[in-house]
């Protein structure tokens, strides 16, 4: 199914969006990539959702991307006797690792007691997305004593954030490793890594994944931003995960960090997603706030490849309406004259390589001849990602013999991937490019296509040919 916009929409599946009818409606409303959140739900539930998406893929004859999002080492408090407690400013509050004892207004357990040695006196602890603030008084090997600075109601399993501390935690928990094995066997296209702190976390995950899926790094800790260059280089794609990032970093810093991450991902030619609270009011309302609409538009103006819906589609009352609204916002931005002007100034990817030179030339030529599309022949996806990085005026039609590559490319800005047999010579290249461009609704007789490929055909990573062809 062709989308008449360049930026992509990622929708999270959950209790509100698990039936074949609802997932179909999300797809038809504009969802390009589906997210399976492994923080919630059983393996059986995730497989059922996966199978429905793959069924739609087969029905519509177009690749669909699937992200498996690992829970990661999210630190949480344990359970309380009455389900919640009231923490009062100035009171003492003890944390330990005894998950067998119910919590009270004086103490609670946490899920990751191994972090205690990483804490120092005076360090802040943020509970329930920063609504409650504690200050460390004393930390030992198996406990931490704190004082409540900002009180409130604390309920079961709320999150704990520790800004600025390098925690003794692996990016992959035992649960993550079980989930990862399951998701890779299932056939997920992307693995999203949560709470990455260091480049070493990404390298560890890459080794385990072994090329069976793309590595999508969620940037949600300020410490990760300190290593942004190395992390983006190791990743295949990145996500600006503003939920936890906005807890651990000052809220006023998040917009600038968003722009910084997007710019770095663009420089490296890695797809970048902006996520969290984008249309949050649509969890319970059929329309967003004006601020939320502006937030989505800003991400598109900033150059994001994709924007993501979380609880809006997973647990909200209006999941299909949220996707449709995001689709309309994106299309309105991309039709705006200011967006088109700024996109023209914001070109990336001039590394001096032959492949980048061919890609830049393809963009320029496509604009000059008003090409109906840029057609890329690719095996690994690198040729197509180069084309996406320079943000051409024409849509990008990616032809690949690898189904896994086609599915991953759904996430990239402006790309319409098609799974097809590889070509062996120029005449076949011209014939296939013309046929598919017409069949997919990108070109009509009399229009022109700009084609990039690598010689010899089928050689990964070798973009060295540019050709203009007439559609007959």
- Residues with a catalytic annotation lie at 35, 76, 218, 276
Q: Report the distance separating Cα 286 and Cα 278, nearest Å.
A: 14
State the CB neighbour count (10 A cutoff) for residue 141. 9
Q: What are phi and psi of 413, to 5 degrees?
A: -55, 130
Tell me the three state secondary structure of residue 79. coil
Closest CA to 406 of 52, 57, 55, 11: 57
Q: Is 350 exposed, middle or buried (0-12, 13-18, 19+ CB in 10 A)?
A: exposed
Closest CA to 235 of 259, 205, 275, 212: 205
* Residue 185 CB partners (closer than 8 Å, separation 6+): none
CB contact at 8 A, 429 and 456: no
Q: Could you give the angle at which helices 337-345 and 319-334 cross, rounded to 10 degrees?
A: 70
* Residue 174 CB partners (closer than 8 Å, separation 6+): none
Give, as one character, the DSSP assignment of residue 197. -
Q: Report the distance separating Cα 277 and Cα 12, nearest Å.
A: 12
Q: CA angle at residue 134 from 129 to 139, to 5 degrees?
A: 120
């Amino acid at each position: 199914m062709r989308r008449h916009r360049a930026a992509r929409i990622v929708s999270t599946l959950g209790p509100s969006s698990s039936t074949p009818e609802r997932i179909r409606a999300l797809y038809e409303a504009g969802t390009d990539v589906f997210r399976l959140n492994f923080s919630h739900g059983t393996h059986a539930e995730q497989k059922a959702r996966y199978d429905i998406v793959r069924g739609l893929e087969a029905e519509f004859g177009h690749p669909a991307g699937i992200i498996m999002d690992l829970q990661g080492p999210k630190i949480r408090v344990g359970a309380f006797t009455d389900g919640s407690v009231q923490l009062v400013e100035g009171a003492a509050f003890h944390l330990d690792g005894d998950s067998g004892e119910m919590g009270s207004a004086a103490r609670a357990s946490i899920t990751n007691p191994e972090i205690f040695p990483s804490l120092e006196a005076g360090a802040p602890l943020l509970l329930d997305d920063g609504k409650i603030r504690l200050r460390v008084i004393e930390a030992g090997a198996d406990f931490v004593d704190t004082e409540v600075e900002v009180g409130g109601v604390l309920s079961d399993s709320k999150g704990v954030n520790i800004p600025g501390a390098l925690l003794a935690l692996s990016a992959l928990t035992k649960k993550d490793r079980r989930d990862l094995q399951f998701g890779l066997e299932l056939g997920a296209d992307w693995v999203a890594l949560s709470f990455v702190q260091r480049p070493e976390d990404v390298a560890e995950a890459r080794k385990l994944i072994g090329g069976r899926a793309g590595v999508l790094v969620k940037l949600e800790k300020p410490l990760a931003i300190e290593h942004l260059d190395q992390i983006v280089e190791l990743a295949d794609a990145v996500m600006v995960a503003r939920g936890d990032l906005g807890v651990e970093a000052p809220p006023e810093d998040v917009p600038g960090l968003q722009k910084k991450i997007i710019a770095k991902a663009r420089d490296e030619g890695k797809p970048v997603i902006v996520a969290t609270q984008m249309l949050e009011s649509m969890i319970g309302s059929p329309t967003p706030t004006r601020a939320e609409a502006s937030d989505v538009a800003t991400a598109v103006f900033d150059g994001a490849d994709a924007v993501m819906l979380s609880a809006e589609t997973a647990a909200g009352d209006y999941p299909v309406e949220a996707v449709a609204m995001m689709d309309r916002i994106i299309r309105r931005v991309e039709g705006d004259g200011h967006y088109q002007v700024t996109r023209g100034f914001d070109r990336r990817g001039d590394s001096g390589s032959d492949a980048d030179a061919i890609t830049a030339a393809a963009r320029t030529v496509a604009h000059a001849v008003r090409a109906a599309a840029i057609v890329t022949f690719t095996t690994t996806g690198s040729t197509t990602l180069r084309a996406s990085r320079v943000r051409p005026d024409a849509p990008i039609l990616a032809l690949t013999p690898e189904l896994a590559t086609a599915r991953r490319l759904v996430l990239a800005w402006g790309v319409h991937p098609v799974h097809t047999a590889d070509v062996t010579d120029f005449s076949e290249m011209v014939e296939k490019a013309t046929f598919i461009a017409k069949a997919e609704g990108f070109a009509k007789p009399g229009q022109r296509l700009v084609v990039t490929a690598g010689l010899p055909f089928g050689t990964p990573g070798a973009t060295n040919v540019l050709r203009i062809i007439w559609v007959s």
